[in-house]
């Protein structure tokens, strides 16, 4: 099992980048940089490419609606060149809250668009001319443009023609597509003991259509992380994080994280968190997160407890543990968790 760390959304980005350099020295295998509606991920990834030497650098995630497939391919190829072949392209559909509320782009056909992005990026890195007649029209037909566009291939030669693509997906159709075409899977709020029940059928169906050239699907799972005895602040941080996603990342009926928690067996609790969060009662929403759920989707507790959670992730098929450090001694805690990895 490899070890990765996801950087925080907010805070002093320069200080976080310096901390990321220390995480590389501590043996972390991959650094993930998120992007929602704060700073963009690409700027930070470029800075980290210059400051690090070994660690993999991944976006978690770049929403597909915010960039064309060609730009996603260019961005990943540029980062791969700057970092000497260390880029991982993490993409996903995100959700209507961010895509429509922040970017002003219609949230349509998320599964089909994601599949096309994966295929077009791989064509671009192979320096093939980009053609598509699906959701993305390449070249743009005369009735939608000037009629002067012609198919193009990437001007520069990528360092690698197979940059790993990781897809963030939660719903059955999207997970099935991910298991079929992606190099890795980035599920949020991953609960190891419920993974097979919630996603097993979709993963199996996608794997049955998977090309042997892709190799096994890498599964990235984890959550807020802290080791110790007095971790009340770390648990409170994790409660707020869960409440934000379950309660605030989408309207009623359009929140994938709410739906996932309900599928885990907490439908009433998910409804209550959402009700409180959307009413502006965020502290109450965080307090409404069940202790059992908090414990299951996080790695916060004594060394023995964290060891048990790491074993649960491994048993559920996770090949890369993703941690969001929230404890008082992130570097020391990361060194400790490395000793727990199978």
Q: What tens digit of pLDDT does each residue of 34-92 get?
A: 998 999 999 999 999 999 999 999 999 999 999 999 999 999 999 999 999 999 999 99
Please give the pLDDT value at position 250: 85
Cα separation of 92 and 59, whole Å?
10
Cα separation of 89 and 93, whole Å?
13
Question: Is the pLDDT score of 251 beyond 90?
Answer: no
Report whether 88 contacts 60 (CB < 8 A): no
The most confident of 10-14, 147-151, 204-208, by mean pLDDT: 204-208
Number of Cβ within 10 Å of residue 11's Cβ equals: 11
- Binned at pLDDT 50, 70 and 90, residue 9 comes out as confident
Walk me through the domains of the chain, giving residue ranges and CATH numbers.
Answer: 2-224+302-338 (3.20.20.30), 229-300 (no CATH)
The rounded percent of the chain whose pLDDT value lies above 90 is 90
Cα separation of 60 and 74, whole Å?
17
Q: Where does the chain have alpha helices with state H?
A: 13-25, 41-51, 69-83, 96-101, 110-125, 172-181, 192-208, 232-243, 256-263, 267-278, 282-287, 291-297, 303-315, 330-338
pLDDT in tens, 304-334: 999 999 999 999 999 999 999 999 998 899 9
Q: Please state whether the peptide bond connecting residue 212 to the residue before it is cis, i.e. omega within 30 degrees of 0.
A: no
Report whether 198 contacts 170 (CB < 8 A): no
Which pair of tokens denotes residue 229? 């005895």
Q: What is the mean pLDDT of residues 211-228?
A: 96
pLDDT in tens, 105-119: 999 999 999 999 999
Residues in contact with 247: Cβ distance below 8 Å, sequence separation at least 6, in sequence order: 255, 258, 273, 274, 275, 276, 277, 278, 282, 285
């Amino acid at each position: 099992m490899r070890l990765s760390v996801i950087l925080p959304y907010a805070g002093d980005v320069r200080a976080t980048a310096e901390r990321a350099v220390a995480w590389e020295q501590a043996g972390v295998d991959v650094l993930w940089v998120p992007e929602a509606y704060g700073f963009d991920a690409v700027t930070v990834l470029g800075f980290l490419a210059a400051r690090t030497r070994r660690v993999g650098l991944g976006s978690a995630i770049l929403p597909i609606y915010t960039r064309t497939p060609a730009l996603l391919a260019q961005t990943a190829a540029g980062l791969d060149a700057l970092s000497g072949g260390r880029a991982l392209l993490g993409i996903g559909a995100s959700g209507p809250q961010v895509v429509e509320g922040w970017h002003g782009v219609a949230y349509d056909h998320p599964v089909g668009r994601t599949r096309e992005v994966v295929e077009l990026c791989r064509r671009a890195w192979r320096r093939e001319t980009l053609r598509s007649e699906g959701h993305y029209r390449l070249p743009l037909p005369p009735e939608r443009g000037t009629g002067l566009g012609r198919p193009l291939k990437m001007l520069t030669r990528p360092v690698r023609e197979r940059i790993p693509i990781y897809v963030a997906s939660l719903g059955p159709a999207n997970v099935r597509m991910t298991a079929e075409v992606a190099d890795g899977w980035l599920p949020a709020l991953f609960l190891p003991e419920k993974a097979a029940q919630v996603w097993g059928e979709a993963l199996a169906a996608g794997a049955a259509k998977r090309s042997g050239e892709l190799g096994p699907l890498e599964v990235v799972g984890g959550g807020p992380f802290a080791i110790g005895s007095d971790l009340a602040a770390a648990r409170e941080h994790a409660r707020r994080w869960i409440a934000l996603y379950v309660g605030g990342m989408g309207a009623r009926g359009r929140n994938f994280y709410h739906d996932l928690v309900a599928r885990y067996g907490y439908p009433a609790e998910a409804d209550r968190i959402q009700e409180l969060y959307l009413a502006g009662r965020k502290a109450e929403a965080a307090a409404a997160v069940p202790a059992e759920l908090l414990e299951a989707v996080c790695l916060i507790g004594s060394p023995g407890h964290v060891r048990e959670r790491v074993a649960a992730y491994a048993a559920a098929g996770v090949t890369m543990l993703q941690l969001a450090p929230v404890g008082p001694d992130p570097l020391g805690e990361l060194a400790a968790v490395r000793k727990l990895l199978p």
